């Protein structure tokens, strides 16, 4: 059996990342699909094992070549950046900087061909900024570290996939950013990702910007006609089954019903809200367009419950499953 090697970044050490990581890796079924190891802090993982009560042995390694990938034993590239007395549930620049360093090391391993995918536990944007790394989030960090000029965020839940033209921008800035080329490129990235996941002829719906997709010019200032429709038409001309611009207030229902394989959202909340209504423990964040597969949990650091052992690992398990499905395999 050829299983992909997946680097799991531990996320913000003051949040629930260490707990969801050890809970997920305590399940033997994970190892049937992939060969996972953690890039993080061994002592913090050990604390998470104590808090959650899972049965795991932890082992420090310098990289995946030393990892054992055995159920019940977790290999960790230990950057040793977290002090033993770092409290859970409190914003920390030390934890913010460490979260960035975990991603940096995982990307280096991926770009060096040592891992096939990266799966990320959550970071805290305020802590990241306090630690000296001013990025809107994971997506932008990964794009810069891999030298990728443009990527897309795709959220995937069991009955719905949503890819975004824009993400971490104010609404007015997002509308200004949207243009036909961006819409077309986002559709193309969605199509390529779905084909890679086994859907031979994906059906893609594209949202409008305004209520009712502008309703033939009754709402807005012609954004659908000038910004969205030409991008859809260009994708269709390239042979992609794309429909739109469609009203966002009904298109997600239609996608969940099975009419479409993915929806292209114009801005962050237009796409995030429908997925999160389906359940935070079911969603996975996939960065589309990178030279390496990257998936992530679709929840935050949850400082309010960090350190209690109650965080659910469902989203991490789903993120690992989808990373394993999308990543190339290699001989064992």
DSSP annotation of 200: S
Q: How far apart are CA 264 and CA 240, in angstroms?
A: 13
Closest-CA residue to 194 (of 186, 280, 221, 219):
186
User: Are 172 and 103 found together in one domain?
Assistant: no
**Whole-Å CA distances, 254 to 100, 223, 268, 331:** 38, 23, 19, 41
User: Are 85 and 129 found together in one domain?
Assistant: yes
Sign (positive or negative) of CA dihedral 306, 308, 309, 314: negative
User: Are 136 and 165 found together in one domain?
Assistant: no
Can you give the residue range of the structural domain that contains 92? 5-151+290-326
User: Are 89 and 61 found together in one domain?
Assistant: yes
pLDDT values of the chain reduced to their tens digit, one per residue, 332 residues: 689 999 999 999 999 999 999 999 999 999 999 999 999 999 999 999 999 999 999 999 999 999 989 999 999 999 999 999 999 999 999 999 999 999 999 999 999 999 999 999 999 999 999 999 999 888 899 999 999 999 999 998 888 999 999 988 899 999 999 999 999 999 999 999 888 877 899 999 999 999 999 888 888 999 999 999 999 999 999 999 999 999 999 999 999 999 999 999 999 999 999 988 886 666 788 889 999 999 999 889 999 999 999 999 998 999 999 899 888 777 88
Number of domains in the chain: 2
Please indicate, yes or no, if residue 315 is contained in any of the structural domains.
yes
Looking at residue 14, its pLDDT comes to: 98
How many residues can be counted in the chain?
Answer: 332
Please indicate, yes or no, if residue 283 is contained in any of the structural domains.
no
DSSP annotation of 303: T
Please indicate, yes or no, if residue 36 is contained in any of the structural domains.
yes
CATH classification at residue 92: 3.40.718.10
User: Are 68 and 27 found together in one domain?
Assistant: yes
Looking at residue 280, its pLDDT comes to: 60
User: Are 267 and 296 found together in one domain?
Assistant: no
Please indicate, yes or no, if residue 215 is contained in any of the structural domains.
yes
User: Are 171 and 217 found together in one domain?
Assistant: yes
Helix orientation angle between 314-326 and 17-25, rounded to the nearest 10 degrees: 70
Please indicate, yes or no, if residue 282 is contained in any of the structural domains.
no
User: Are 172 and 237 found together in one domain?
Assistant: yes
User: Are 26 and 145 found together in one domain?
Assistant: yes
DSSP annotation of 122: -
Looking at residue 276, its pLDDT comes to: 84
Q: Do 79 and 39 form a contact (C-beta atoms < 8 A)?
A: yes
Please indicate, yes or no, if residue 243 is contained in any of the structural domains.
yes
Phi, psi torsion values for 150, nearest 5 degrees: -150, 130
Looking at residue 281, its pLDDT comes to: 62
């Amino acid at each position: 059996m050829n299983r992909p090697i997946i680097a799991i970044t531990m996320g913000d050490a003051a949040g629930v990342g260490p707990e969801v990581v050890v809970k997920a890796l305590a399940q033997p079924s994970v190892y049937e699909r992939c060969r996972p190891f953690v890039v993080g802090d061994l002592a913090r993982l050990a604390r998470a094992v104590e808090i959650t009560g899972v049965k795991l042995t932890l082992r420090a390694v310098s990289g995946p070549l030393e990892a054992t990938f055995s159920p019940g034993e977790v290999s960790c590239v230990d950057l040793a950046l977290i002090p033993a007395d770092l409290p859970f549930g409190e914003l920390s620049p030390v934890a913010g900087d460490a979260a960035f360093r975990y991603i940096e090391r995982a990307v280096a391993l991926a770009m060096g061909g040592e891992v096939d995918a990266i799966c990320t536990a959550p970071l805290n944007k305020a802590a990241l900024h306090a630690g000296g790394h001013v990025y809107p989030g994971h997506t932008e960090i990964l794009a810069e570290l891999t030298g990728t000029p443009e990527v897309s965020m795709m959220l995937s839940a069991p009955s719905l996939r949503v890819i975004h033209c824009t993400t971490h921008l104010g609404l007015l800035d997002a509308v200004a950013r949207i243009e036909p080329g961006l819409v077309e490129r986002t559709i193309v990235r969605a199509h390529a990702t779905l084909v890679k996941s086994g859907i031979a002829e994906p059906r893609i719906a594209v949202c409008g910007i305004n209520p009712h997709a502008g309703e033939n010019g009754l709402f807005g200032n012609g954004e659908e006609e000038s910004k969205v429709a030409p991008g859809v038409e260009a994708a269709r001309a390239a042979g992609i089954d794309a429909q739109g611009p469609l009203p966002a207030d009904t298109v997600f229902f239609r996608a969940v019903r099975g009419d479409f394989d993915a929806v292209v959202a114009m801005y962050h909340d237009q796409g995030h809200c429908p997925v999160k209504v389906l359940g935070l423990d079911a969603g996975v964040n996939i960065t589309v367009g990178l030279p390496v597969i990257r998936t992530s949990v679709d929840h935050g650091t949850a400082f309010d419950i960090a350190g209690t052992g109650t965080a659910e690992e469902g989203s991490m398990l789903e993120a690992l499953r989808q990373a394993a499905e999308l990543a190339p395999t290699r001989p064992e």
